[in-house]
Structure 1
């Protein structure tokens, strides 16, 4: 017998072992590595269902910077809210039906309320304007429970870089770093001093660790090297802000004292590896050309301005449409293989090969 061939029995006996035969057959059938189907769900275990949305009331509203307001959301009955960690965000359904994501900026230890801050964006999709114009104390909102795609790992040395309203997920991180005695720094940049939310709250944590920088006082925005010069040696950098700020930090990282970078974007990353393709609205069209440097969502919204969207980064699922025909290059971070096979598509990030036509049911 070839010494590399396992014996037919666990103890080397010439006859086959019943248990080993059963185990092999089970593995052949159910192990994904061997090409068998995935393990079936236990039929006696009920299917898991997503947690129900929360119905919260705006308990307070205050101005925290020029064109930025903070909302405090609470359970109308006074109950405790689900826990969360620094970096988490909420998905709000606004009175109009629009859905928007906002980072939690309060204290995770406070289970009585959630705090978010919203800056009015004149060239946005209307969500921020709706919050500023129509959401006031007493307004009730449907809120999806906190989710975290920007988790804080509490490394021993930390640099937090915030651009404008991007301070919202970093404020709880600063509290956490202070609470645990980490070696942390925070740099908050913006067009002018009055556009920097929570300046007093940040200074109250530890004024020696917080640097507020207004562009109009320094002749323009900071360079990536200037921002990273505040990093303790070997620090993990957490950055949230506009795309130019993030790009500058990424370019300067290797030459800085920092060791790692975590980031959250305000909007979608620029398309750098796309090819032109076509989206067709229904079987009869019309056909819309998607250039190599634009997203399908941007093109679709020119034809259908009311098409729902939010994060534009492929994780919230708000812009989901149904793919009727064509081969898509799925680039999202939300849909499961089963959902994609059933026709789900997120046009904010997903694309197709050059010359391909994706037929969509909107």
Structure 2
């Protein structure tokens, strides 16, 4: 994930991990390996999961790109963002081996579902969650193919590792091949589940070309919040938190998260952009207006969860399990 965020209070489940390895794996990309200082096993995770890494003044979300069976370490791939406000710049320029970082346990909003066959489309640092997915799909013995695009071959991480899969991996640097031919790449039957991660223009183009695919066969993960026309159409609404027995009015222009926090409701949160998923709450009553960048178009129609940092209400009142 790419958003620099204010750091909320640390939770009791936070991990204190040491940097066991820090190495360059492509131009502008480092591989970061974290481990427990006492050598204990880390919380389990599944392909598609990410962790929140706390650094001075900011928290950043990074996809796990190792092997989920290796319970002793977490591996991350970190791109140096040109306009970094402290996250990736800290890792690339200041972080050293044996330093300790606070890490929130893994969360997963990009889960690998069971399918007969898989097509992976990765752009740039979007390869990170895909690496773990490929490891798992290969273990299951399912057919798969990866199309991996980037600006230049030298900037594309994990190429040596991916080369072991032979012609299942198609590498397409833009300076050699131009933009990915998505019309050809995505011409696959609905039995194939497509997983895409990368910059917003790539994901938007893939979504546009997959509007007629069977629901639930396209899965995407964004690095940054997408722009939604509905985000500007805000009216006040009421929220009742059933567990806390707190009722608040969310004003037009005010985030639901801020209104709940101001009323003393204890909530987890990180990104405030609808990308990390840490503030997820269950909707018990009412019609949510989903403005996050996590749920798919199909999921937004039926989802019984909401991310209050950005989302609002279509109905006059919501009842949440909080």
Distance in 1, matches of 2:215 and 2:114, equals: 15
3-state SS of 1:168 partner: helix
Count of residue pairs brought into register by the alignment: 257
Task: Please give the alpha-carbon distance, in whole angstroms, between the structure 2 residues aligned to 1:330 and 1:256.
Answer: 22
Q: Do 2:78 and 2:125's aligned partners in 1 also have CA atoms closer than 8 Å?
A: yes
Is the 8 Å Cα contact of residues 159 and 232 (structure 1) preserved in structure 2? no
Following superposition, the deviation at residue 259 of structure 1 comes to: 7.8
Flag structure 1 segments of 5+ consecutive residues without an equivalent: 1-49, 279-288, 291-295, 298-307, 319-327, 335-339, 354-362
What SS does structure 1 have at the residue aligned with 2:232?
coil
Residue 230 (structure 2) pairs with residue 239 (structure 1): no
Q: 1:240 offset after TM fit, Å?
A: 0.4
Change (3 A) 1:106 1:311: farther
Where in structure 2 are the equivalents of 1:75-114 lying within 5 Å? Answer: 75-94=36-55, 96-114=56-74
1:177 aligns with 2:134: no
- Distance in 1 of aligned mates of 2:290 and 2:209: 31
| Aligned-pair CA distance for 1:214 | 0.5
1:309-350 deviation digits (Å, cap 9, x = unpaired): 6372254458xxxxxxxxx9774589xxxxx9xxx952xx24
Structure with the higher strand share, 1 or 2: 2
Listed as ranges, the gaps of 5+ residues in structure 2 are 1-10, 236-251, 259-268, 280-287, 296-305, 315-322
Which of 186, 195, 208 lines up with 1:228 in the alignment?
A: 186
Give the CA deviation at 1:62: 0.8
Number of the residue aligned with 1:214: 173
Residue 166 of structure 1 corresponds to which residue in structure 2? 126
* Shift, 1:51, TM fit: 5.5
Matched, 1:264 2:213: no
Distance 1:232 1:60, change over 3 A: farther
Larger-gyration structure (1/2): 1
| TM-score for both structures, normalised by structure 2 | 0.71
For the 8 Å contact 2:224–2:275, the answer to whether it is kept is no
1:200 to 142, 156, 160: 160
1:166 aligns to what SS in structure 2? helix
Q: Which digits, 9 at most, give the CA deviation of each residue in 1:133-182, with x for residues without a partner?
A: 11121110011111111100131200011110001001011011111110
**Contact 1:243–1:269 (CA<8 Å) still a contact in 2?**
yes
Please, which moves more after superposition, 173-182 or 269-278? 269-278
Distance verdict in 2 for CA 1:315–1:67, change over 3 Å? closer
Taking structure 1 as the reference length, what is the TM-score of the superposition?
Answer: 0.63
Give the distance between the partners of 1:256 and 1:63, measured in 2 at CA. Answer: 38
SS of match in other structure, 1:152: coil
Q: Which residue of 2 aligns with 1:52?
A: 13
CA shift in 2, pair 1:311/1:118, >3 Å: farther
> RMSD of the alignment, in Å?
3.3
User: Judging changes above 3 Å, is the alpha-carbon distance between structure 1 residues 176 and 225 closer, same or farther for their aligned structure 2 residues?
Assistant: same
Q: How far did 1:192 drift? A: 0.8
Distance 1:237 1:83 in 2: 25
Alignment of 1:1-362 (within 5 A): 52-94=13-55, 96-204=56-164, 206-219=165-178, 221-229=179-187, 231=188, 234-253=191-210, 260-275=217-232, 310=271, 312-313=273-274, 315-317=276-278, 331=291, 346=309, 349-350=310-311
